[in-house]
Chains A and B, each alone.
Chain A
Amino acid sequence: MKSNENVRRGAGDLIARYGTLGLMALVCLFLAISVPAFIQPSNLFDVLRQVAVVGIMACGLTYAVAAGGFDLSVGSVAALSTVFVAWLLVRNVPVLAALLVVLAVGAACGWANGLFCARLRIVPWVGTLATMLAVVGPQFMLTGGGSQIPGGLGPKQPLMDFLGKGFLGPVPVAALVMLLVAAVAEIVLSKTALGQHMYAAGGDRVAAETCGIDSRRVLWLAYIFSGVLAAGSGLLMAARMGLGQVRIGEPYLMDAIAAVFLGSTVIKEGRPHILGTIVGAIFMGIMFNGLTLLHTPYWGFYLFRGIMVFAAVALSGFRSR
């Protein structure tokens, strides 16, 4: 009886750890067979390039979720970043200064989320939803009511073009940026005491606090990280599109959520982590790419997006039981 249980647990464990990766491999195999264009290196790199925005946003969200919170405002904050950076660049603000200011605004949004959800202990779904909506205001303020900032990103912006559209050899720069961000985020979350404390606060707040961890502070920081990375993903978006557009980030929120929850089913045991999040984001990218290659009508994407979010959350929920 006991050994039986162990065997079952062993097999279950294997499926739980590598199931998502296995599924991804199956999807790739299916696409490679049914649509040969899928495995062209140029297509695969294009997938990576498209994934970059969601990937960076999802890294931020990973922090919020790991520390026991949630952040619905990431898409909205990203949209604000596209608008704000365009507004600054059109006004001839030096590009580096513009980037830093926008990241700081992202941090401020995260700080506000932390104030609501970590300090005042408002339920994160509600607190960050408030930020998500509030942040739409300044976007329209900056565009003067239009849907875009007139004039794109202003005069020629070599740095923005490089980040958004550039290639190093065959590799898109945006993908490299995502990998770099992910590497740093991974180190902070899994190798530093701060990251450990975030997981602890998210795992059992009371236990963490009896160990002298200021769970409010680490959750607050997690929201700030989430805000900064959301702003970063918005910058990349603006660079790729060459303009700032109101409310552009909202579909990305769903993809980021799916990536984080899918990611928490990858290899490590049932908690969100950066590597998993990136895998999740890439998985989502591959699926969307496949849908495109299979000539799925546009409404299919919406349906698919909803199903993926549901499946991802269900899978990860199953794991945490």
Chain B
Amino acid sequence: MHDPPSTEQRVLAMHNISKDFPGVRALDHVDFSLHGGEIHALVGENGAGKSTLIKVLTGIYACDEGCIELDGREVHVRSTRQMQDLGVACIYQELNLIPHFDVAQNIFLGAEPRGKLGLVRWSEMYREAERLLGTLGVSLDLRVPVRKLGFGQRQMVIIARALLHNPTIFVLDEPTAMLTRAEIGYLFGLLERLKEQGVGILYISHRMEEVFEIADRVTVMRDGKNVASLQVAETNPDQVISLMVGRQLDDMFPKTDLEIGPQLLAVGGMGDGALVQDVSFEVRAGQVVGIYGVLGSGTAELAGMLAGDRPLAAGKMLVRGEPTTFRSPHHALRDGIALIPKDRRDEGLVLSFTVRENMTLAGLGRWVSAGLIRSREEKAVTRDQIEALNVRTYGAEQVVQELSGGNQQKVVIAKAMLSQAQVYVFDEPTRGVDVGAKIEIYRLISRLLQGGAGVILFSSELPEILHITDRVMVMFRGRMVLDKLTQQTDADELLMYALKGEASETDVS
């Protein structure tokens, strides 16, 4: 499995790489290699060491042991700049762009064409940027500040910046997590072209279907070790997943049957006057209500309204039978309704706060007496939560910014649990997290239900909706067009309603 065809040149070899963090061995004697003209997928659960390996490769971290060879020559990595100059380009999950700089300025950030006296040659810069985007087949207004661009467009800016240096190794860290299907197709076309030019591509993903669509080889990491490197043609998703998780996946969607309890939340005729109209439903204890809809169908707005983020223009809400109104998320939480937002980096967490501070932020009043926080109790509660939710952190005092996406998600959920919420509104809880973390989130939902909570699940993943909800509703152009028990519907029906707002007998597309 380590024998490359002789026509391919090995552009990267990492030997015996180890890296320790306080209390954690992030990489444990990892070997990894990459050939020119190859797409090599790197998969593993959150915290398995993928990102650390990449950061060692790009020079952000120095490894404690092991060595790196580029084109057969050993390299002593000193800085990210050095690795860039040696042809290693990396697209990180966070798109590192300066928001108020325009497209061209961001592409050339740190590599501005300079004339005499260090003056930037602006016209040359814009010309080059134009040409570069042209070769990528992207049309973007070069003078628009990037904060006005969508995610996919920002990513193209980042890619253009990376390709500026004509890399021989191109690393992408979960590039598709936030992309639409069309954007993914576009990205894959681009990767194929780079591959033909002989660039070695290291592709980190947790989406099996993508790995099997585009990669030539796949390396699985678990607990900081390289568990296996396989030819994609000689393996299958199930094998890769069980290598990742280290166990079989028969219980991927745990669903325990529970007694449906009393009504926790009911909304009637709810609307915001624009994107959501006349929505009515109820949630009971022990019940998962799924809400499905394509982008722009109003699901995001509905989630915001339920969590007090968006004002109601019409309709009423009953919490445990009592009428109520929310003017802010604070009010919603007071009534026991917690939103676990999609964009946890922006909305769910204070990134510069520690795990403990974030977890207890919303319910802090419970640990205050005479105006002072009873810190011992606060710490004990935090420790319990870390353990119960299996948050991978080296302690309650780690800053959440340093956690991986799935673990940040768990902190958000812990925060809601500690504020004693009874209705949990999950907005795309498994987007951008790996298979193992997904299972953990499903288990968590099932635990919340056992504790007498109700769950509203906004999701665009049909398998998820079909497997874990009791009731499912479909939104189309701001209205509920379908409301059924999950057992009585199927993927085709849901999709049909989501795309057209009605069932159609004739259409087969």
Contacts and interface: CB of A to CB of B under 8 A. Distances in A.
B230 to A, nearest CB: 31
A187 to B, nearest CB: 7
A196 B112 contact: yes
A193 interface: yes
B97 A207 contact: yes
Interface in B367-406: none
Contacts of B78: none
B100 A208 contact: no
A209 B98 CA distance: 11
Interface string A200-212: 1001101111111
Interface in A264-321: 269-271
A7 interface: no
B105 A196 contact: yes
Contact of A207 (B79, B98, B117, B118): B98
B101 A203 contact: yes
B112 to A, nearest CB: 4
Contacts of B105: 196
Interface centre among A197, A200, A208, A271 (most CB of B within 10 A): A200
A206 B96 CA distance: 7
A227 to B, nearest CB: 20
A192 B100 contact: no
Interface string A247-262: 0000000000000000
A111 interface: no
B84 interface: yes
A210 B96 contact: yes
A194 interface: yes
B233 interface: no
Given A1-B274, A203-B99, A212 B110 contact: yes
B92 interface: yes
B118 A192 contact: yes
Interface string B431-447: 00000000000000000
Interface centre among B79, B105, B119 (most CB of A within 10 A): B119
A143 B209 CA distance: 77
Contacts of A191: 119-120, 122
B272 to A, nearest CB: 10
A220 interface: no
Contacts of B117: 192
A199 interface: yes
A212 B81 contact: yes
**Interface class of chain B by DSSP:** loop
A269 B100 CA distance: 8
Contacts of B60: 210
Contacts of A203: 98-101
A177 interface: no
Interface centre among B79, B100, B111 (most CB of A within 10 A): B100
A270 B98 CA distance: 13
Contacts of A197: 110
A80 B117 CA distance: 31
A209 B80 contact: yes
Interface string B69-111: 0000000000111001000000010101111110001000111
A193 B60 CA distance: 23
B114 to A, nearest CB: 5
A44 interface: no
A98 interface: no
A210 B110 CA distance: 9
Contacts of B80: 209-210, 212
B161 interface: yes
B98 A200 contact: yes
Contacts of A210: 60, 80, 92, 96
Given A196-B105, A212-B81, A271 B96 contact: no
B329 interface: no
B145 interface: yes
A196 B81 contact: no
Interface centre among B60, B79, B118 (most CB of A within 10 A): B118
A27 interface: no
Interface in B251-290: 274-275
A213 interface: yes
Given A193-B118, A200-B101, A212-B79, 11 more contacts: A191-B122, A192-B119, A192-B120, A193-B120, A207-B98, A208-B98, A208-B109, A210-B80, A210-B96, A212-B81, A213-B109
Interface of A: 1, 187, 191-194, 196-197, 199-200, 203-204, 206-213, 269-271
6 contacts: A191-B122, A193-B114, A196-B112, A206-B96, A207-B109, A208-B98
